[in-house]
Structure 1
Amino acid sequence: MADELPFWKTKTLARMSRAEWESLCDGCGRCCLHKLRDEDTEELVWTTVACRLLDTQSCQCRDYPNRRDHVPDCVKLTPRKLAKIDWLPPSCAYRLVAEGKDLPEWHPLISGDPETVHTSGASVRGRAVPERQARDLEDHLAEWPGTWPSPPGSR
């Protein structure tokens, strides 16, 4: 039926199938950017430095099924962990659904096109620095990864 609500509006994150859960990821790559946390204030600061497994053009993990073998501190996101995480970008679909919000128009589940996450300015494509090319994380601090995406040309 055309009037049927999409799964993310009818199911809790915990009740989603694995395929539904995985399809919520818009492929922006923002969660794969390194973040720094101040030891004293707990303030979170974003960088433009991408995890060594992130393909900065496609914004996909180069070895998603085995990522924790290569990057042991890579977080396997679950509904339980999501409740404790404060570093997901505001446009993250997992975060939005958990907060009872709708997905943005550029999300591939809405647009039907995985490229819209890139053309909308939501992804790290063209703005991320591969980890192996970055000498010092402090040289690559940025605010945009932790803010709502801006359309290209307005950045």
Structure 2
Amino acid sequence: MLKYTIAFIKRGEEILLLNRESSTWMGSWNGVGGKIEKDETPTECIIREIKEETGLKVESVDYRGTVTWNVNSLNVNSGMYAFVVELPSTYHYYTPIKTVEGILDWKKVDWIFHPENTGVANLNYFLSQILDNDEIYNYHFSYRNGEVHEFKTSSIVDNLETI
């Protein structure tokens, strides 16, 4: 079982992102999420984390796969379960909001994927597929010296009852 969860909350052509105040990805815009607690499923975790980090109470999330990584060719993999929440385009949630985790703000999808945007976590590798595809994938990063050395996408079959 992986240790973390991440969610991308979509409203029309915007995603609610968090500019993190602490590692990992300090100073970068990323989804919301966190560490899975003892006896908690990934789905329970992400619903709790969304409430804690944004104040939004969601009742359902769409599981989209996993994002895993290893560092400096070590065979130790870390990772997170990835989810999408789709809000109506008319949903009112005013930002920016300063929280203990960082700053929450709606970001246009085009802004997130702009080739000159250096302020976003590694979302350009997988977020488009997560948002546009209901299939479940593993997105795997290999990092060397703090840089992406290799990125692979593979379809996965998961027991969704445990998610």
TM-score, normalised with respect to structure 1? 0.31
Q: Which has the higher helix share?
A: 1
Larger-gyration structure (1/2): 1
Q: Which has the higher strand share?
A: 2
TM-score, normalised with respect to structure 2? 0.30
